[in-house]
A = this chain, B = another copy of it.
Amino acid sequence: MHDISDIPGAPESFTPRQRAVLDRALELLLEGGERALTTAGLARAASCSKESLYKWFGDRDGLLAAMISHQASKVRARIDDGSALDLSRFRAHLVDFATDLLQVLAGDVSLALNRLAIGQASREGSRLGQLLIERGRRGIDRRAGALLDAGRRRGLIVYGDRDAAYHTLYGLIVRDLHVRMLLGEAGARQPEKFAALAEEAVTQFFVLFGVRENKKADPD
């Protein structure tokens, strides 16, 4: 398995000046997509020289990777290590997680960076996708994993493979919304419906993995 340290450009931290430039780069990306993010345009918008950009980030790909690392470093995925965990609290935590997940995926920055990485994925040797998964998703995955483990320890849910259970939960929550949002379908981006979607997904998740009346494996 790859670790974060495997990815070039990931470990170094950026100076405040560089972070400001990266923030401006994100704004340009949000405004006009990848085509709007040119070195000359960024230099002008961020009031820095192109020479500095190439000195700091190497080349354009390095800049894109730095943008992903920078954005990921801003999002702190808290771990709900709920101590006193009863069923209703556990369920509420799951619904919170589901709502947060949908809101994150629907966020402007997330969509822009995912579009960027996906657009680059066709080029051979582009590690932006890998980088995005490592730096962006790992935190969310860990939070969910810790949550599921806690629920299982309390006997509130039961599963054999934690990752499989998590992926099922993810599918129940996100469905095909992420891809539709990435494709720009307006109907898929309706944050006011996320709460209801989260509720339903968690309800279904409990039907599949919850411990209630019939906890034994169904024969036949």
Contact = CB atoms under 8 A, between A and B. Distances in A.
Interface stretch (A15-23, A53-61, A128-136): A128-136
Copies in the complex: 2
A129 B183 contact: yes
A7 interface: no
Interface string A128-156: 01101100000000000000000000000
A183 B121 contact: yes
The number of chain A residues touching the other chain, given as a range, is 35 or more
Interface stretch (A28-36, A43-51, A77-85, A89-97): A28-36
Interface string A156-182: 000000001001101111111011101
A180 B133 contact: yes
Interface in A101-130: 112, 114-115, 117-119, 121-123, 126, 129-130
A185 B118 contact: no
